[in-house]
Amino acid sequence: MTLAVNNVDSGYRRIPVIKEIDFTINYGEIVGLIGLNGAGKSTLLKTILGLLTPQAGTITIENKSILDNHTDYAKKIAYIPETPILYDELTLQEHLEMTGLGYDIPREEIMKRAQPLLELFRLDDVLNWFPVHFSKGMKQKVMIVCALITNAKVLIIDEPFLGLDPLAIRDFINLLKERAANGSAVLFTTHMLSIAGDLCDSYLILSKGELVGKGDLEDLRTQFKDPEASLDDIYIAMTEMETLSQAEGTER
């Protein structure tokens, strides 16, 4: 099993935001994590990354948790955050070199892996630039290139398409498919359901911190009792369930 999340509760200051989260992802799979604003998607990703400690349950990659060996665990994951995090005083080239150091990539190998990605994203002419000169989309592309030069077998990506132009979105989708075909597991959040439909093998539907659906579209159709439903229909059904439970909560 690549990534196993077993009955996890997690949140901030001991208050659980996500509850009893349970799923597994295998190598080769692309899984979309879907839910309304505030559902707990980023909280779940941060917990898998080890930035938050589970309040209950366990998370393992290849049967090893972060507690077994923090460095080994971290090297198995590459993360692309919702908002690009770059160092003001490092050039693009230095960002790549720093990533290479973190993942034990030999120096000569770093640029070999990065070059085609830099060309694809039109960053090959700006290797000596500092982040202050990058547009929002360029910063996002730098994060993508840094993640994709690693050997990490698990890619965790938080809302990756915001700020990317349509060409970059298409190229990034193809890269993720290629990465999965070569044996990586990909878990990403998005509000762009049409992209999710094109990209995902399966889905995790998160509502108010709880998993209310998981599996491929057929599984979701069964779980939401609608044999014809599209992903959009399932999303709407999920939001209606939320509204209903909120109204019931207010009445009580």
* Residue span binding ligand ATP (CB under 6 A) among the ranges 40-48, 86-94, 142-150, 215-223: 40-48
Put residue 192 in one of left, alpha, beta given phi > 0 → left and psi -120 to 50 → alpha: beta
Buried b (16+ CB within 10 A) or exposed e, 19-45: bebebebeeebbbbbbbeeebbbbbbb
Q: Which amino acid is at 108?
A: E
Q: Which amino acid is at 237?
A: A
Judged by beta carbon, residue 16 or residue 100, the one nearer ligand ATP is: 16
* Residue 234 main-chain phi, psi, to 5 deg: -65, -40
Work out which of 16, 23, 41, 161 binds ligand ATP, going by CB under 6 A: 41
* Residue span binding ligand ATP (CB under 6 A) among the ranges 1-9, 37-45, 215-223, 234-242: 37-45
Q: How many helices (H) and strands (E) does the chain have?
A: 9, 9
* Residue span binding ligand ATP (CB under 6 A) among the ranges 39-47, 134-142, 144-152, 195-203: 39-47
Rounded to the nearest 10°, the torsion over CA 229, 36, 74, 118 is: 80
Contact call for residue 150 and ligand ATP (CB under 6 A): no
Helix (H) or strand (E) holding 108: helix 107-120
Q: What six digits make up the tokens of 242?
A: 């939320």
* Residue span binding ligand ATP (CB under 6 A) among the ranges 31-39, 56-64, 161-169, 213-221: 31-39
Contact call for residue 208 and ligand ATP (CB under 6 A): no
Question: Residue 161's CB: how many other CB atoms inside 10 A?
Answer: 19
Contact call for residue 40 and ligand ATP (CB under 6 A): yes
Judged by beta carbon, residue 47 or residue 99, the one nearer ligand ATP is: 47
Contact call for residue 38 and ligand ATP (CB under 6 A): yes
- Supply the minimum distance, in Å, between the C-beta of residue 17 and ligand ATP: 4
Work out which of 35, 100, 163, 213 binds ligand ATP, going by CB under 6 A: 35
Share of the chain residues as helix, strand and coil, in percent rounded to the nearest 5: 40, 25, 35
Report how far residue 211's alpha carbon sits from residue 200's, in angstroms, rounded to the nearest whole number: 17
Contact call for residue 149 and ligand ATP (CB under 6 A): no
* Residue span binding ligand ATP (CB under 6 A) among the ranges 19-27, 41-49, 222-230, 237-245: 41-49
Judged by beta carbon, residue 69 or residue 83, the one nearer ligand ATP is: 83
Applying the rule CB under 6 A, the residues between 10 and 29 that interact with ligand ATP are: 12, 17
- Supply the minimum distance, in Å, between the C-beta of residue 43 and ligand ATP: 3
Q: Could you identify the residue written with the tokens 């359901």? A: 193
- Supply the minimum distance, in Å, between the C-beta of residue 15 and ligand ATP: 8
Q: Which residues bind ligand ATP (CB under 6 A)?
A: 12, 17, 35, 37-43
